[in-house]
Amino acid sequence: MTTSEVTQHPIHDLVQRVLALQGEQQLYEPETSSDEVTAYARDKAFVAVKIVQSYLAQIDPLTVSVWGLTQVQNVIQAIFNEVSSFISNGNPGHLHNAGTQVDQALFPLMWVFSTRTADDSLKPTELAIAKLSESASSTFRQLVDQKTQLEKIIATLSAQVNAQTERLETMTTTIATQKADAATVTAVVQHAYAKEASDRSTAFDENERAMRDEFDRDRQAMADKASQALESLEKSKNDAAQLVGVVGNIGVTGNYQQIANSENKAAEMWRWITLAFFAGGIGLAVATFVEFWKEPVSSGNVWAIGIRLLYAIALATPAWYTAKESARHRTNSDRARQRELELASLGPFIELLPKEKKEEIRAKMTDIYFGKEVENHVTGSPLDGKYLKDVLIELVKANKR
């Protein structure tokens, strides 16, 4: 340990910082100074720190405990924190805590300064009392200043109240005068309103009667026009129904006509295909017959003749299928053409019949033309007599064309 550890101990700066807070205005507000407990704790904290400051000036570095100075520093640091918190938020509990730190922690550590010199010229107690007196004087001066300010405010408010009272009396007189004038005006207005209301009621009744008469005339005229319009619409409805029926018949029969034409074209195509296959097979057979007509029959040419005839048969065999397709399309064309004629002549045929009879005929036609299953296609043998007959018929028809 050295002498500089005592003379340069942080407690010296901390004491100066605490005593610097003593000049803060927040510590001497009327609310704080009027509370005896709070003011006592405040003054006690600063007096104790001031005493420590005087002791620090008197101690002999060779006879003081550095550890003890550090403990005193910790307590003064706590006092500094509490006073700073009070200045920040104004909570008196922080000053109470500072006073408690003095009683419970700082005073018991005063043994650290028991070896100070006998020079007591600073008289710390007298200095503390002087500081308290100065603090009290400052507080009273603040109270006097506030009293003066309050007296000025009260005087200003009294003047304002007197002015408002005079204004209120003037307004009361004015209101009484205006009230009398308003009563007079109200009586005049009520009389004029009653007369105007009577005139308006009479005019309204006359207008209402005129409007009722005009409305009755317009309603009768509209009823007559509506009746005529309904009759016209009924006639148009009947004409439209007949037109729709005609258009519907044309649409249905036109569809069957298109089907008949399409099936007829397909039948013609398959007929020419049949002729081509059959002519190819017959041509190959005739060519074979002509080529081997004058040659003697031998084992060599028998096989050639047989193979060529098989080729001719194979080439002519598809003709049975194409002839069958031509006949099927021809049948579909004839059936569609028949239905076209039947549906086209149905309307004129039943036009003069009663409505019930028309409905009955239409119901029967529905059963005939709708709900029928499609006939299955049956594939037969090319050697079947029916298919051979169809092939010959198609060939004959193709030759005639």
Residues 6 or more apart in contact with residue 72 via CB below 8 angstroms: 11, 52, 106, 109, 112
Tell whether 148 is covered by a domain.
no
Tell whether 349 is covered by a domain.
yes
**Structure confidence at residue 400 (pLDDT):** 52
CB 93 within 8 A of CB 36: no
Q: Which of 92, 119, 115 is nearest to 35 (CA)?
A: 92
**Structure confidence at residue 249 (pLDDT):** 53
**Structure confidence at residue 131 (pLDDT):** 57
Residue ending a domain, choose from 64, 98, 122: 122
Domain that holds residue 58: 3-122
Tell whether 75 is covered by a domain.
yes
Looking at the structure, do residues 253 and 396 belong to the same domain, yes or no? yes
Tell whether 330 is covered by a domain.
yes
Global pTM?
Answer: 0.35
Residues 6 or more apart in contact with residue 213 via CB below 8 angstroms: none
**C-alpha torsion 77→79→82→87, nearest 10:** -100
Quote the number of domains for the chain: 2
CB 313 within 8 A of CB 281: yes
**Structure confidence at residue 47 (pLDDT):** 92
Residues 6 or more apart in contact with residue 142 via CB below 8 angstroms: 28, 29, 30, 33
**Structure confidence at residue 228 (pLDDT):** 83
Positions in the chain short of pLDDT 50: 118-122, 244, 246-248, 374, 376-383, 398
Q: Is 378 left (phi over 0), alpha (psi -120 to 50) or beta?
A: beta
Cα gap 48→130, rounded to integer Å: 13
Tell whether 142 is covered by a domain.
no
Residue ending a domain, choose from 122, 151, 172: 122
Residue ending a domain, choose from 122, 143, 175: 122
Tell whether 183 is covered by a domain.
no
Tell whether 90 is covered by a domain.
yes
Tell whether 141 is covered by a domain.
no
Cα gap 53→157, rounded to integer Å: 50
State the SS3 of the chain: CCHHHHHCCCHHHHHHHHHHHHHCHHHHCHHHHCCHHHHHHHHHHHHHHHHHHHHHHHCCHHHCCHHHHHHHHHHHHHHHHHHHHHHHHCCCHHHHHHHHHHHHHHHHHHHHHCCCCCCCCCCHHHHHHHHHHHHHHHHHHHHHHHHHHHHHHHHHHHHHHHHHHHHHHHHHHHHHHHHHHHHHHHHHHHHHHHHHHHHHHHHHHHHHHHHHHHHHHHHHHHHHHHHHHHHHHHHHHHHHHHHHHHHHHHHHHHHHHHHHHHHHHHHHHHHHHHHHHHHHHHHHHHHHHHHCCCCCCCHHHHHHHHHHHHHHHHHHCHHHHHHHHHHHHHHHHHHHHHHHHHHHHHHHHHCCCCHHHHHHHHHHHHHHHCCCCCCCCCCCCCCCHHHHHHHHHHHHHHHHC
